[in-house]
A and B are shown apart, each in its own frame.
Chain A
Amino acid sequence: MKMPEPDRETLAKRVEIAAALSRIVTAEGGVIVDEDELRPYESDGLTAYRQPPLVVVLPETVEEVRQILRYCHENEIKVVPRGAGTSLSGGALPLADGVLLSMAKFNRILDIDFDNRCVVTQPGVTNLGITNAVQHKGFYYAPDPSSQIACTIGGNIAENSGGVHCLKYGLTTNNVLGVELVTIEGEVVRFGGKHLDAGGYDMLGLLTGSEGLLGVVTEVTVRILRSPETVRAMLTGFPTSEQAGDCVARVISAGIIPAGMEMMDRLATKAAEDFVHAGYPLDVEAVIIIELDGPAVEVDHLIERVTEIARECGASTIRVSESDAERQVFWAGRKAAFPAVGRISPDYYCMDGTIPRGRLTEVLRRMAELSVKYDLRVANVFHAGDGNLHPLILYDANVPGELERAEEFGSDILKLCVEVGGVLTGEHGVGVEKRDLMPEMFSEDDLNQQMRVKCAFDPSSLLNPGKMFPELHRCAELGRVHVHHGETRFPDIPRF
């Protein structure tokens, strides 16, 4: 993956830039230049890529963020924003000639408002930290990415993070009410708040999932939900993946939207079982965990119906959790699936495509063919309810050529997702990882239109360059309109 060529002039001014930032952020340790201290920042959750930043700055106030961005804008210095650095797509990968803006010190919850059912927080608070702050009154924040113990809400906004429960409760974008944003030009703007619908153009919706390319979020308002009265999970196993896929489709078409519906293939199930001993069946091709929530009377009713559907689809295992402890055991293997796969292979590469549910069997079959072609094993874990696949490609980075082969395998899987009507990334983001695959899904006109939106917020392309777009065009060039004066009036268009 090629990153933009570092600007020599900026590299040469490193000391000067650090000094200027130290005048803005005066707290001790607020600016990091020491090479050893820069090392922890050199990569994020996509560890295959490493690059120490020019300098790290850790502001504590909105005013400091504003001044940092304004300084970088005036001096044409690139900026990479960073939350907890858990991105799986390299969204927070530093640039050699860029300032790494860490929001780690924005770690306070500002307002818990149960009457308006929302929390106002700084962006560096963790996803789970929000739930922890409200659960004493029976509330929670719904999106639950598997990194929720570490990832920050600011990072969730940047990536529009999902989780196992977004089938019923939506992604980050459906659960955010407002943000405060600082633009690269140093303007502080607010979109939305404690009310519904942001007003004007929906910049809130645009910013969610914009991967740190449009601005730096300094405050977030999220909606919180009351926890359901009852939650129960079902553990089902199927002799074939066709039957499992059929079961998922039939649950949905019966009008049932479970809180979560997660599938694992044989390899992932075996790895998980060996790791956590959740009691998963090992004689099946696919395991599905189906979680239902609501009042007990509803959950019991739906469990009966889903049990019937699973049986009709040929399930060889059907277990229903009788206690919350048992439910947690069902989930334990699924939640530990990634590290479990990590135990059976020196390295793994996690993919994140989404497909229309109905194409699942076909995609699994073709993925198995690719596995033979590339001579690499693949374990499948996926959010079956919404068609979001997480194939884990097993490889060994110490074997020359295996990483490259794994990456090629991965990109073939993502192309396959697009081919069947799906998309390149369901929740991990484009980042640097899938940047060069964007033309698989988008035409040049599609991408140019997206980049024009980027230009509206960041005319000099200083915010997180090298991410999301395969190549960045200059804004002036993108803005040009090709005028064809005096052309015909298109008489073939019906008028009246």
Chain B
Amino acid sequence: MSETFRPDNPDQLRDLLAWATSEEKTIEIVGAGSKRALGRPVNADHVVELGGMAGITLYEPNELVMTASPATPIAEIEAALSENSQQLEFEPPDYGPLLASASGGQGGSGARSNAPAGTLGGAIACNLSGPRRVKSGAARDHFLGFHAVSGRGEIFKSGGRVVKNVTGYDLSKLLAGSWGTLAAMTDVTVKVLPLPEKTRTALLVGADPARAVQAMIKAMQSPHEVSGAAWLPASLADGSGVELVSGQKGSVAALRVEGPGPSAEYRCNALREMLAEYGGTEELHSINSIAFWREVRDVMPFARPGDDRAVWKLSAPPASAPELVAELGEIEGAETFLDWGGGLAWLALPAGTDASHEAVRAAIERTTGHATLFRAPEEIRRAVPVFQPQPGARTMLAQRVKAAFDPKGILNPGRMYADI
């Protein structure tokens, strides 16, 4: 019979996993459970909830560092940080609404609530990052160290609490994006950074993907330190909660700059001048900017209530975006918007029986990069490769790395690939 365990401390977790590996019982690791609809479904013998260990254990604003238990809600982390005008610079997304809308608002906060659904550990374990990825890196770039219990039932650590550290292998990178398949973390240490004083967003209205991507490339090549570059087709810009965006009645390319007041204003003006050759421009100030980029971050264009289409996340070289959008557009009912200066394409299409995985993967094959099936009914995520299939030698190395941490395969079995 499946049981749910809720250890209070790392020693209990170690005892539990040592037992599980001895008995070869599989375990699903859960923080807040907000990402269970992401990745491949896991059917484990038992569930371990890490919520019993939640909380911030160290926060030194002057040192730009924070340590917390992985099950600490992002909402709690962000509240503590904002008191000191700091933030997680990788902009952890909140996919609550995106994942809930497909199930008709059941099982999550269908309507937009202010508190994000996930935990810090979840954002790191899935290496999820927002629009600032283009400038500031991914979750993994802000992840300094951890303690964890391996699938062997042993407590171990890696990294530390300082940014500059090359002592031993950087296992933090391996754990970020491993979806709980290597170890169950018991604390994580992250770099935190100052909140920008001001945010400005320059908008380019009415550009098709080719021109919009051209404009975004030009902006990203400028010295203006663009910290977000996205493009929404007219059909999706129309649904934005930010009136200056929805009111344009056309496609919108958006470029964000952040920093001290005079600098953000100067750079926004410079970008608008640069964009003028591609079409009409507009700008968003701080409050509208924050609202707009939150929509992009959380894939809100595909999170409208009742939207039950399959959603794909494609990472490709930014300059290949027009080609990719065109090719994906050939798929019946497909709709795409871009983030990361064109390097990230969000695609929605009718789920059907297989989320058109062959056509999507064929497209990404041509541009290079990878495609992840991000939202789809469980039966499709079970049948279709959710993560980009890897060539033979890479699969072999991944299997060996998995075995190095979890030789009996007890942790989140099948979460990433059928055999990992």
A445 to chain B, nearest CB (A): 5
| B286 proximal to A (CB < 8 A) | no
Choose from A297, A430, A492 the contact partner of B263 (Cβ within 8 Å).
A297
Q: Which residue of A lies closest to B257 (CB)?
A: A295
Given A166-B164, A205-B140, answer yes or no on A200-B368 (Cβ-Cβ < 8 Å). no
B409 to chain A, nearest CB (A): 12
| B334 proximal to A (CB < 8 A) | no
A48 to chain B, nearest CB (A): 20
B83 to chain A, nearest CB (A): 13
Given A253-B62, A356-B60, answer yes or no on A226-B18 (Cβ-Cβ < 8 Å). no
Choose from B173, B369, B416 the contact partner of A200 (Cβ within 8 Å).
B416
Q: Write out, one digit per residue, whether chain A residues 251-270 have a CB within 8 A of any chain B CB (1) or not (0).
A: 01101110000000000000
Q: Write out, one digit per residue, whether chain B residues 394-414 have a CB within 8 A of any chain A CB (1) or not (0).
A: 101110111111011000000
B78 to chain A, nearest CB (A): 17
A88 to chain B, nearest CB (A): 11
Contacts of B266 in A (CB 8 A): 295, 297-298
Contacts of A189 in B (CB 8 A): 391, 393-394, 397
Check A493–B16 contact: CB distance below 8 A.
Answer: yes
A187 to B400, CA, bound (A): 14
B415 to chain A, nearest CB (A): 12
| B85 proximal to A (CB < 8 A) | yes
* A-B interface, 7 closest residue pairs, ranked by CB to CB distance from nearest: A205-B173, A298-B263, A255-B194, A456-B400, A426-B164, A452-B404, A194-B317
A222 to chain B, nearest CB (A): 14
Q: Write out, one digit per residue, whether chain B residues 303-331 have a CB within 8 A of any chain A CB (1) or not (0).
A: 00000000000011111000000000000
Check B5–A295 contact: CB distance below 8 A.
Answer: no
B238 to chain A, nearest CB (A): 28
The size of the chain A interface, using a CB distance under 8 A, is: 102
Given A201-B177, A201-B401, answer yes or no on A428-B166 (Cβ-Cβ < 8 Å). yes
| A423 proximal to B (CB < 8 A) | yes
A424 to chain B, nearest CB (A): 5
A485 to B224, CA, bound (A): 61
| B75 proximal to A (CB < 8 A) | no
Check B22–A484 contact: CB distance below 8 A.
Answer: yes
Check B6–A492 contact: CB distance below 8 A.
Answer: no
Check A441–B167 contact: CB distance below 8 A.
Answer: yes
Q: Write out, one digit per residue, whether chain B residues 248-273 have a CB within 8 A of any chain A CB (1) or not (0).
A: 00000000000110110011001000
| A149 proximal to B (CB < 8 A) | no
Q: Could you pull out 15 A-B pairs where Cβ atoms are within 8 angstroms?
A: A195-B317, A208-B170, A298-B260, A358-B63, A423-B165, A426-B165, A430-B166, A442-B157, A447-B168, A453-B401, A456-B401, A457-B397, A479-B407, A483-B21, A493-B5
Check A249–B388 contact: CB distance below 8 A.
Answer: no
Q: Write out, one digit per residue, whether chain B residues 172-189 have a CB within 8 A of any chain A CB (1) or not (0).
A: 111011100010000000
Choose from A194, A226, A449 the contact partner of B223 (Cβ within 8 Å).
A226
Choose from A196, A454, A485 the contact partner of B23 (Cβ within 8 Å).
A485
Given A200-B398, A202-B174, A426-B165, answer yes or no on A253-B61 (Cβ-Cβ < 8 Å). yes
Check B170–A443 contact: CB distance below 8 A.
Answer: no
Given A173-B173, A294-B259, answer yes or no on A187-B393 (Cβ-Cβ < 8 Å). yes
Binds B, one of A50-58, A98-106, A380-388, A394-402: A380-388
Residues of B204-254 at the interface with A, using a CB-CB cut-off of 8 Å, are: 217, 220-225
Given A450-B158, A452-B405, answer yes or no on A426-B166 (Cβ-Cβ < 8 Å). yes
Choose from B140, B141, B263, B370 the contact partner of A301 (Cβ within 8 Å).
B263
A209 to chain B, nearest CB (A): 5
| B377 proximal to A (CB < 8 A) | no
Contacts of A201 in B (CB 8 A): 174, 177-178, 182, 398, 401-402
Check A386–B407 contact: CB distance below 8 A.
Answer: no
| B357 proximal to A (CB < 8 A) | no
With A297-B262, A454-B169 given, name 13 new contacts (CB 8 A). A113-B319, A173-B141, A174-B137, A189-B397, A193-B317, A197-B370, A200-B387, A294-B259, A298-B259, A356-B161, A427-B164, A446-B168, A495-B6
Check A449–B156 contact: CB distance below 8 A.
Answer: yes
| B337 proximal to A (CB < 8 A) | no
Check B403–A383 contact: CB distance below 8 A.
Answer: no
Check A453–B174 contact: CB distance below 8 A.
Answer: yes
| B171 proximal to A (CB < 8 A) | yes
Contacts of A40 in B (CB 8 A): none
A208 to B397, CA, bound (A): 16
Check B161–A295 contact: CB distance below 8 A.
Answer: no
Check B221–A479 contact: CB distance below 8 A.
Answer: no
| A415 proximal to B (CB < 8 A) | no
Check B6–A429 contact: CB distance below 8 A.
Answer: no
| B8 proximal to A (CB < 8 A) | yes
A446 to B148, CA, bound (A): 10
| B4 proximal to A (CB < 8 A) | yes
A479 to B165, CA, bound (A): 27
The binding surface of chain A is classed by DSSP as loop
Binds B, one of A73-81, A114-122, A236-244, A281-289: A114-122
Check B127–A202 contact: CB distance below 8 A.
Answer: yes
Check B162–A197 contact: CB distance below 8 A.
Answer: no
Residues of A402-431 at the interface with B, using a CB-CB cut-off of 8 Å, are: 421-430
B51 to chain A, nearest CB (A): 10
Q: Which residue of B lies closest to A456 (CB)?
A: B400
Check B343–A388 contact: CB distance below 8 A.
Answer: no
Residues of A439-496 at the interface with B, using a CB-CB cut-off of 8 Å, are: 441-443, 445-450, 452-457, 468, 479, 481, 483-485, 487, 489-490, 492-496
B127 to chain A, nearest CB (A): 7
Contacts of B267 in A (CB 8 A): 295
Most buried by B among A170, A171, A452, A487: A452
Q: Write out, one digit per residue, whether chain B residues 99-138 have a CB within 8 A of any chain A CB (1) or not (0).
A: 0000000000000000000000000000100000110011
B59 to chain A, nearest CB (A): 13
B145 to chain A, nearest CB (A): 9
A341 to B65, CA, bound (A): 33
| A138 proximal to B (CB < 8 A) | yes
Most buried by A among B62, B137, B162, B405: B162
Q: Which residue of B lies closest to A422 (CB)?
A: B162
| B340 proximal to A (CB < 8 A) | yes
| B56 proximal to A (CB < 8 A) | no
| B351 proximal to A (CB < 8 A) | no
Given A189-B397, A295-B263, A485-B23, answer yes or no on A427-B137 (Cβ-Cβ < 8 Å). no
| B33 proximal to A (CB < 8 A) | no
Check B12–A493 contact: CB distance below 8 A.
Answer: yes
Residues of A205-222 at the interface with B, using a CB-CB cut-off of 8 Å, are: 205-206, 208-210
Contacts of A495 in B (CB 8 A): 3-6
Contacts of A68 in B (CB 8 A): none
Contacts of A209 in B (CB 8 A): 166, 169-170
Given A200-B398, A490-B15, answer yes or no on A453-B171 (Cβ-Cβ < 8 Å). yes
| B69 proximal to A (CB < 8 A) | no
Choose from A116, A203, A386, A468 the contact partner of B163 (Cβ within 8 Å).
A386
A115 to B134, CA, bound (A): 14
Check A202–B176 contact: CB distance below 8 A.
Answer: yes
Choose from B12, B150, B166 the contact partner of A449 (Cβ within 8 Å).
B150
| A302 proximal to B (CB < 8 A) | yes
Q: Write out, one digit per residue, whether chain B residues 365-399 have a CB within 8 A of any chain A CB (1) or not (0).
A: 00011100000000000000001101101101110
